[in-house]
Amino acid sequence: MPIVLAEEVKRRGHELVMLPPPTSPLRESSSDAPAHAAWLQVDALQDVQDSLEALQADAPWDWLVVDHYGIDNRWESRMRACASRILVIDDLADRQHDCDVLLDQNFYEQADGRYAARVPERCRKLLGPSYALLRPEFADLRSAVSVREGEVRRLLVFFGGVDENNVTVCAVEAIARLPRGALEVDVVIGAGHPARREIEKRCLQLGMNCHVQTQEMARLMARADLAIGAGGTATWERCSLGLPTLALCLAENQRQLLVDGSRAGLLHAPSIWPHDVESLARQLLVLIESPGLRQLMSRCAMKHVDGQGVARVVRNMALPQITVRLATAADSQNLFNWRNHEAIRAVSRTSEPISPETHASWFSKVLSSPDRCLLIGHSGPSEVGVVRFDLQATVAEVSIYLVPGQEGRGLGAALLVAAEDWLSATHPEVESLVAEVRGDNGPSHRLFSSANYKLDITRYQKWRRSRPR
């Protein structure tokens, strides 16, 4: 579990237990073993038993957080014996998961499609760098920075704490070929960098600042005008502070991220060999001499990443569990009162008050119609919302509202997920969901967008797994 996520969970007063290191010896992987099973370094099935034993005494746990490439749905499904809900952190999208929430903080043009067939339909997907798990100092410094404009006065070089291929040296030499003028250069390396002495010596010769194992990365990014570095988490750290970046691909799992991020204007990722010093120098010079491009990248980066990702993830984990049931005749008066409430009428297609006679006629027809499903959502004993599905062959139109007074608690997303689960179980013939939303109903637009509905001109649509191909 990422440290920043663990710290935020504890800061909010929740109990957190880390599973002990596995001890069972690794057996030879079978042909149907999870992708990267060897990375777990133990037998997966035995690890499940060990993990269940470690957690069983205090089960059920509200959440189990899984952050390991060597684990897939077979491990996760067995762990449901002690966990109410499961959050999986992944970015490879190359194996099946049994989870309630999936987090992939990287940017991809087709982010949702990468996991379409790899997670349960009920799974809530937190995709993109708005969920990037960054340290608090990046959010803290956000208000102190602005979109980068004008000339480049300070350049930051950072390729990760290890940089085993020593790309840092190549970047330093590329900068040495530029007309430096008053340009200040900060070079950051880890204490275990394989060429630490060489880099420190070269920086001293060239008048560059070499920072070893610094704890001031956010501050260095905030005061820089341009950076050169690799993909990975540092990408979103730079974006959160609006730092334009020349990004190099140092690992295969960074390639698509950098291609898509470059297309979206988040960074500049030229297709060059990282050790090609001359090409690096040319690309840096292009950026230095292109203030408009740097300004565009800076603005775009800050729009996509604001440093609040950890808080968003924890808020999603804190969403209450909602259950739904079919409405009965006993719900008539409550539904009448809720529907006529000023806040509900303000976002309804028909904003006029409804008479008791009109409501009674409508409600009777809804209860007797096989093509209309009216659901009441509960959080514990409390009624919190209403969802209606109007069925037409393989399409269901959904409408949703919260009971007045229940707004602002994140219940809408949980209610929609619970209602969709109910629909999937009772009407498997439904292939797509549609929702009509008034243009001025901002909360509903955000709700359907975050639930993986796509805006199609005037309405939202969401295809389900049964869609024919």
pLDDT at 469: 32
Task: Give the range of the structural domain holding residue 83, as residue numbers without chain letter.
Answer: 3-127
- Higher-pLDDT residue of 127 and 410 is 127
The model's pTM is 0.77
pLDDT 10s digits, 270-311: 999 999 999 999 999 999 999 999 999 999 999 999 999 999
pLDDT 10s digits, 346-388: 888 788 899 999 999 999 999 999 999 999 999 888 999 999 9
- Same-domain pairing of 36 and 183: no
DSSP assignment of 345-390 equals HTTSS--S---HHHHHHHHHHHHH-TTEEEEEEEETTEEEEEEEEE
Mean pLDDT of the chain: 91
- Same-domain pairing of 177 and 284: yes
pLDDT at 208: 98
Confirm whether residue 237 is marked as ligand binding.
yes
pLDDT at 25: 61
CATH number of the domain to which 346 belongs:
3.40.630.30
- The answer to whether position 8 is within a domain reads yes
DSSP assignment of 413-445 equals HHHHHHHHHHHHHH-TT--EEEEE--TT-HHHH
At how many degrees (to 10) do helices 411-426 and 442-450 cross? 50
Q: How far apart are the first and last CA of the chain?
A: 37
- Same-domain pairing of 456 and 378: yes
pLDDT at 30: 55
CATH number of the domain to which 86 belongs:
3.40.50
- The answer to whether position 374 is within a domain reads yes
CB 288 within 8 A of CB 73: no
In whole angstroms, give the CA distance from residue 253 to residue 245: 19
Question: Nearest-5° angle of CA 369, CA 374, CA 377?
Answer: 165
Of 27-41, 258-272, 406-420, 439-453, the least confident: 27-41
In this prediction, residue 253 has a pLDDT band, given cuts at 50, 70 and 90, of: confident
- Same-domain pairing of 283 and 149: yes
- Same-domain pairing of 144 and 106: no
- The answer to whether position 356 is within a domain reads yes
The residue among 93, 127, 161 that closes a domain is: 127
CATH number of the domain to which 295 belongs:
3.40.50.2000
103 sits in which H/E element: strand 101-104
- The answer to whether position 310 is within a domain reads no
Percent of the chain at pLDDT above 70? 95
